[in-house]
Amino acid sequence: MGTHDEDREVQLTDDFVILPDQTSDDTDAGWGERAERNDERLLAERPPHWD
């Protein structure tokens, strides 16, 4: 007869990836945004009451 599942040897390695660590939705590009930083623009457009 055939082999049973409990008799079957399974090799597990660290290289086996089920899901990626980061999906495209977790990135700026995935949301259609630019990857460049805009810190200077945000500081220049800061509301006066934040000073």
In terms of residues, how long is the chain?
A: 51
Return the amino acid letter for 28: D
pLDDT in tens, 31-42: 888 777 888 888
pLDDT of residue 2: 60
Return the amino acid letter for 45: E
pLDDT of residue 3: 60
What tokens does 1 get? 């007869």
Query: Is the pTM value of this prediction over 0.85?
Result: no
Compute how many other C-beta atoms are within 10 angstroms of the C-beta atom of residue 14. Answer: 5
Distance CA 36, CA 29 (A): 10
For the chain, give the percent of residues with pLDDT over 90.
Answer: 6
pLDDT of residue 24: 82
